[in-house]
A and B are shown apart, each in its own frame.
Chain A
Amino acid sequence: MTQHNSPSISPSHAYEFLRGVRTALPLTLAFIPFGLLLGSRAIQQGLTHLEIPLLTGLNFAGGSEFAAVDLWTLPPNILLLASTTFLINSRHILMGTTLTSYLQNRPRWQIFSLLFFMCDEVWALSLADTQKNPSKTLSIGFYSGVTMCLYSCWVITTFVGGFTGSIVHNLIRYGVDMAIPAVFLVLLRGMWMGRRTALPWISSLIAASLTYHFLPGAWYVLVGTITGGINAWIMIHKK
């Protein structure tokens, strides 16, 4: 099976890019208050107007940036920041494994550039799209469209947040923070495969909730995912 676009079968790259933009648009809007909030916190913590977009542009991973900004000191504790970032983002190792089989036949430079932008949301939207696609190929145009929207929105709004102050706290308190779980829940509906997914998901939910409650730091995604994975593995072996 060839993974390259042949014009007669596959839709054009531009069409796929626009499809990615359209799909990512609601999520892009939901990013705005979070970007503004991160930027305003970063300024309070002593990052400069240049350091904020540098951070959010080079380290495109919102969760770890909120943690880093909270831990920021003058001068910054470099080892603490680096190790926290690695821990929080270690879930991406697992996410990357789920994309590997769709990426393998691509040119090396393309794989390593695409993966640079693989934040939770880019990963989730692209993987869900790939699984829905009858040919089970990852659409590079779609991935790029999603990435362009979310990445530019994130870098711009975090930068702007450095100037706007904390006016957005209320927006988030009024429920905007439910937008991102909403996206993930809609994606989960697409991944639902009956009983085969029910038990692993429930065990993930319980394990992640307990871990979040009892362990400080960002272990909950890893513990939850691994617990669900072990559960799934046992079910697969029993068949």
Chain B
Amino acid sequence: MTLHLQALIAILLMALMTYLTRIGGFLLLRGRTLSPRATALMEILPGCVLVSIIAPVLASGEPANIIGLGITALAATRLSLIPTMLLGIAATGVLRTFL
């Protein structure tokens, strides 16, 4: 259970950086009233973030990943969370074994 000073400094600085990004958006927009257009944008932006986070699965170029993601996306339009997760995991696992 040792702790190195330089590791501690690195961890604390990383934590500070992450915290700055977490409060940054709030500090930028607090106290402002958004125009109806900006509010409309704020409703669309979260989906754009989520789509972008998923993108590497697609960009990996692995057929098993791409087909697995497609099956998961299809499942997500019909099923609730847990069946979607299970189906996505199973489909991707099977595809990776056989492709």
Contact = CB atoms under 8 A, between A and B. Distances in A.
B68 to A, nearest CB: 6
A127 B46 contact: yes
Interface string A95-133: 111111101100000011001101010001001100100
Nearest to B60: A212
A143 interface: no
A189 B59 contact: no
Interface in A81-98: 81-83, 85-86, 89-98
Contact of B2 (A50, A99, A184): A50
Nearest to A209: B59
Given A96-B25, A100-B25, A118-B22, A58 B42 contact: no
Contact of B54 (A54, A90, A181): A181
In the A-B complex, list the 9 residue pairs whose CB atoms are closest, starting with the nearest: A96-B25, A224-B52, A228-B48, A175-B93, A208-B55, A175-B92, A185-B76, A97-B25, A58-B15
Contacts of A173: 96
Contacts of B1: 48-50
Say what secondary structure dominates the interface of chain B: helix
Contacts of B53: 91, 120, 184, 221
Given A173-B96, A185-B73, A48 B4 contact: yes
Given A89-B21, A112-B23, A201-B51, A174 B96 contact: yes
Contact of A89 (B6, B13, B18): B18
Given A204-B52, A220-B56, A186 B23 contact: no
B89 A178 contact: yes
Contacts of A99: 25-26
Interface string B35-54: 00101111111111111111
Given A47-B7, A94-B45, A116-B22, A175 B55 contact: no
Interface string A195-216: 0110011001101111011000
A34 to B, nearest CB: 13
Given A93-B21, A97-B25, A100-B30, A175 B96 contact: yes
B42 A51 contact: no
A176 interface: yes
Contacts of B97: 174
